[in-house]
Amino acid sequence: MIRKIIRRIFRQPEQGTTLARAVEPAIIPPESHPVRRKQISSGSRKVCETLQQQGHKAYVVGGAVRDLLTGITPKDFDVATDATPDEVRRCLKRSRLIGRRFQIVHAYMGREIVEITTFRGREKHAEKTDAHGRLLRDNVFGNQSEDAARRDFTINALYFDPVSEHILDYHHGVADLKQKTLRVIGDPKTRYREDPVRMLRAVRLAAKLGLFIDPEARRPIREMAVLLENVPTPRLFDEILKMLTSGYAIECLSALRAEGLQHDTLPLLDMALHDPQGEKFIQLALANTDQRIREGKTSSPAFLFAVLLWREVNVTWQKLCQEGEPPQTALFQAMSDVLQTQGEKLAITRRIAADIKEIWALQSRLEQRSGKRVYGILAHPRFRAAYDFLLLRAEAGEIAPELPDWWLAFQEADTQTRAEMLLPVANGNKKRRRKRRSKPTKNAEYSEESAPVNDA
């Protein structure tokens, strides 16, 4: 027991660890950077001011500061503080605790919800990892230097004070942004083992910000990509969704393939991109999505995943049809098979999976242009997404453009014109109404006419 205590006292930090000594930040004054308090959301400013008035440290932190330095408008503004969650709640009345393993606070500032996190440290002598080195427990409070050290990249270890407008830079993140370099804090191999998702983040941030991944950080990625197999599939789904909705989806997927990370996230992607028609289809869809996001418009996760997985669904669908399966049955079987294969690597949520299936299922129904069912298709809640999907298929050369052109004209036509546009129902498709057989009355007399004929 005494030996263990002595070893703990004199224990030297391992090479590459981020726990070593406290790091003093570089304090960058307002005249040396472009970020101003008016660029910070009013709710985040109010939170920082209130906490500082109560004697605490409080800063806008991480991605928001990074994006503002590069001229990008942040999606949200997170706050980091030395106050514990209970202390934050005492300072901010309209707030509540979130989370079990590591509690954070959500403060309600009008319609804005500000996420407030207490500075985090590391359990220096009791860190729990799995057999591959992934951290299983990393939920203790710490000081600001430790909080900066446990962040993934230098460009994310930035703290902006909206009161004084100073930036606190612990790991030369501002210089790395100017040099267009993405560096990992600490030893890259150790940090990737702790959390393999950091490899995906490196690819996404480099593509989004136009950065070069530092050679020391890039070198281990391909050989350590297999560690993604140990990451819970919902976490992988969240990270891939961030890539697809970043406004730089094309660049992100290209970088994902360049680093060999697609096998453990989107295993069907390679097959789609090896087919010229499939590649064109995906490129058209992602380019359209990127443009919409950059214009501040919304995008549908279901539509994006429907695009990425469609090539394999279409191939399986056609194969089953050739084997004699009815088209609709074959399509549903193909949909289930592909989503099951993808689900082994990436856990698509049930709600999004249901929307994906509806978009796919409507593709065969959109081929029908006769009868009253056409009006039902037009009223379907997923019709617009399915039509956009059909339009992409035509642009990629998968189907003739006449079909989406007809549906566009049908949408814009009045009631009488729509009726005239409907194609005649083929005779073979008409359902014959079954004749109702009249039941004999109870007291009906047995007659020769009603008796069965004996052919014997």
The pLDDT > 70 percentage for the chain reads 84
* Tens-digit pLDDT profile for residues 73-116: 898 999 999 999 999 999 998 999 988 777 899 999 989 999 99
Q: Choose, from 67, 147, 152, 290, the residue flagged as catalytic.
A: 152
> H or E element: which one contains 293?
helix 276-294
State which amino acid sits at residue 20: A
Cα gap 353→342, rounded to integer Å? 11
CB within 8 A of 341, min separation 6: which ones?
267, 268, 312
Confidence of residue 123 (pLDDT cuts 50, 70, 90): low
Confidence of residue 370 (pLDDT cuts 50, 70, 90): confident
- Domain 233-249+260-422, CATH class in plain words: mainly alpha
22 pLDDT above the threshold of 70: no
pLDDT in tens, 168-200: 999 999 999 999 999 999 999 999 999 999 999
Q: Look at 51-65, 274-288, 372-386 and tell me which has the smallest mean pLDDT.
A: 274-288
Q: Rounded CA gap, 217 and 354, in Å?
A: 38
* Catalytic residue chosen out of the listed positions 76, 86, 270, 405: 76
Catalytic residue check, 161: no
Architecture of domain 13-185: 2-Layer Sandwich (3.30)
Separation between Cα atoms, residue 72 and residue 122, nearest integer Å: 31
Query: Percent of the chain having pLDDT more than 90?
Result: 60
Mean pLDDT of 334-355: 89
Confidence of residue 233 (pLDDT cuts 50, 70, 90): confident
Please state which of the ranges 4-18, 32-46, 72-86, 111-125 shows the lowest mean pLDDT. 4-18
> Any idea how long the chain is?
456
pLDDT of residue 14: 39
Among candidates 280, 197, 212, which has minimal Cα distance to 243? 197
Residue 152 falls in the annotated catalytic set: yes
pLDDT at 16 (0 to 100): 40
pLDDT band at 426 (very low <50, low <70, confident <90, very high): low
Instruction: Band the pLDDT of 310: cuts 50, 70, 90.
Output: very high
Catalytic site includes residue 147: no
- Please report which confidence band the pLDDT of residue 11 belongs to, taking 50, 70 and 90 as the band edges: very low
Model confidence band, residue 17 (pLDDT cutoffs 50, 70, 90): very low
* pLDDT of 47 higher than 50: yes
pLDDT at residue 62 in the model = 86
Looking up tokens 């008016």 gives 38
End-to-end, the C-alpha distance of the chain in Å comes to 105
- Considering the chain, tell me which residue range(s) the CATH 3.30.460.10 domain(s) occupy: 13-185
Between the alpha carbon of residue 427 and those of residues 157, 252, 421, 424, 431, the distances in Å are 70, 51, 18, 9, 9
Please give the pLDDT value at position 172. 94
3-class secondary structure, 143: coil
**pLDDT at residue 166 greater than cutoff 90:** yes
What does pLDDT average to over the chain? 85
pLDDT at 246 over 50: yes
CA distance 288 to 175: 34
Domain with CATH 1.10.3090.10 in the chain: 233-249+260-422
Nearest Cα neighbor of 222 from 231, 213, 209 is 213
Give the pLDDT confidence score for residue 267 in this predicted structure: 76
pLDDT category of residue 385 using cuts at 50, 70 and 90: very high
User: What pLDDT, on the 0 to 100 scale, is given for residue 449?
Assistant: 40
Query: 67, 78, 161, 195: which one is catalytic?
Result: 78
Backbone angles phi, psi at 444, to 5 degrees: -65, 135
Contact (CB, 8 A) for 347 and 234: yes
pLDDT of residue 103: 87
Whether pLDDT at 293 is above 60? yes
Task: Check if the beta carbon of residue 264 is closer than 8 Å to that of residue 228.
Answer: yes
Q: Say yes or no to pLDDT of 147 above 70.
A: yes
